[in-house]
Structure 1
């Protein structure tokens, strides 16, 4: 059987579709969106779309909708990735206009790309059974590829090539030998979904791939970590030092000799 590309699989997905009016109130949705979103609990029709997103995703979705109000003619659809419980969704928003060019509403389309980024292929579309609230929550799926955004395209970065991840508010920058890429997922989302044997949260703003660890540096009581291929060492929080040493398999005395 030939290997199918992620693009081929994405094209076969049944997308979730939500129609919004000019004030961002939900006026219609398709069957997949009804299954995924808590329609019975939140009764989203005629309510703001932000009201039925997880709290940690609200700021991202609001930003996405704000960016869709692009001042140029024929703006491209805006793209974002958010992390909901156990799933990773790729969301696109496109503004709708009338004959005069005035905004009449928005179309929000989303795809479940969890299997694409966790390496579990082939992808199976979501079903009512897989989303049943009566089933126990599955373990969080590890990412084998990190979805990043570049010029309104989704670029999947192989996890083993990542040296570190830097937090910037609700978002992150993913660093490799080729440079840094913007990611819509926050650092906590990524820390939960990356292999804990390689990746360690060494600081509130940094997630390091210890496979690239090269030196532990000390300067007036401060500890930093030098990674192979990176010129600037990363800060290590005091509370993370012992965990770092343990994960690298060295003791405190050994570290003081370095």
Structure 2
């Protein structure tokens, strides 16, 4: 080849719709103003920015009857619903044995139902002259890009939880949004849930109970204490002597057990006699 000949360069690969969507979301996330909360060594609030006040203020007033000017000095865990406290406590207390004392765990999704927000939270241990002295909690409010607008409730009823249309999860240090229509089933394990699509699966910090309250009950049915299925992805109803199961449309064609108390409801929804 002549040294003056131009070197051929491969044609650029056009971005896929999924990669374009992820880039758009990451760009949106970068534009968000994060909420920031400083906690002392005991997890009590010592300072916060205006974004945090906008979320924690209403939470304190509605759930605890505490005015915003009394938030300072409170245990941050008390501002969260009871079902979320164990997860948050674990996040705040997580350490790396034998490692860096300020190394932080991976971010997690936390759900706050008062005032009905979905937050992505990251915590970092803070180091002072005497060692670890507290925690910085940073969160992004992703409610508006993961849920439908709030439904109006009757004057004598509590507000309805905002219905999900995307689920935020972390994968390979990136925050991605799973489109709900792609989800085949959810499998719960304590505070965590495995979200299974047709060709992949993801670990979410949202519990089955958190998810169930925000899913369309005409499409997503809790057939077992550990399983919620998308009826759109149900393949076959299998009846054995003493049990009923539902074969789903994921790669493994997973057979999901159906609790006896849910069999009649499932048959009615599927129109099976």
TM-score of the two chains, using structure 1 as the length reference: 0.81
Residues 31-110 of structure 1 aligned to structure 2 (within 5 Å)? 31-37=50-56, 38-39=59-60, 41-42=65-66, 43-67=70-94, 69-71=95-97, 72-73=99-100, 75-76=103-104, 78-85=106-113, 86-99=116-129, 102-110=131-139
Question: Which of the residues 43, 49, 52 maps onto 1:24?
Answer: 43
Hey, what does 1:249 align to over in structure 2? 271
Moved more, 27-36 or 83-92: 27-36
**Whole-angstrom distance in 2 between the partners of 1:228 and 1:198:** 14
Give yes or no for contact 1:77–1:95 (8 Å, CA) kept in 2: no
Give yes or no for contact 1:119–1:145 (8 Å, CA) kept in 2: no
Q: Is the partner of 1:193 in helix, strand or coil?
A: coil
**Whole-angstrom distance in 2 between the partners of 1:233 and 1:89:** 33
Give yes or no for contact 1:78–1:94 (8 Å, CA) kept in 2: no
RMSD, matched Cα? 2.5
**Whole-angstrom distance in 2 between the partners of 1:65 and 1:152:** 19
Moved more, 29-38 or 51-60: 29-38
Q: Is the partner of 1:163 in helix, strand or coil?
A: strand
**Whole-angstrom distance in 2 between the partners of 1:151 and 1:44:** 35
**Whole-angstrom distance in 2 between the partners of 1:176 and 1:217:** 21
For the pair shown, the structure with the greater C-alpha radius of gyration is 2
**Whole-angstrom distance in 2 between the partners of 1:152 and 1:239:** 40
Structure 2, gaps ≥5 residues long: 1-20, 150-154
Q: Deviations over 1:80-135 (max 9, x none)?
A: 111112221111111111257x2111101112101111267xxxxxxxxxxxxx9x
Question: Which of the residues 196, 202, 207 maps onto 2:217?
Answer: 196
2:190 corresponds to 1:162: no
Q: Is the partner of 2:37 in helix, strand or coil?
A: strand
Q: Is the partner of 1:172 in helix, strand or coil?
A: strand
Shift in Å, 1:250: 2.0
Q: Is the partner of 2:229 in helix, strand or coil?
A: strand
**Whole-angstrom distance in 2 between the partners of 1:112 and 1:209:** 27
Q: Is the partner of 1:111 in helix, strand or coil?
A: strand
**Whole-angstrom distance in 2 between the partners of 1:27 and 1:158:** 38
Aligned pairs, number? 234
Give yes or no for contact 2:185–2:229 (8 Å, CA) kept in 1: yes
Give yes or no for contact 1:44–1:51 (8 Å, CA) kept in 2: no
Give yes or no for contact 1:89–1:113 (8 Å, CA) kept in 2: yes
Shift in Å, 1:249: 2.0
Give yes or no for contact 1:171–1:186 (8 Å, CA) kept in 2: yes
TM-score of the two chains, using structure 2 as the length reference: 0.77
Residues 144-155 of structure 1 aligned to structure 2 (within 5 Å)? 144-155=165-176
Question: Which of the residues 256, 260, 264 maps onto 1:238?
Answer: 260
**Whole-angstrom distance in 1 between the partners of 2:172 and 2:133:** 26
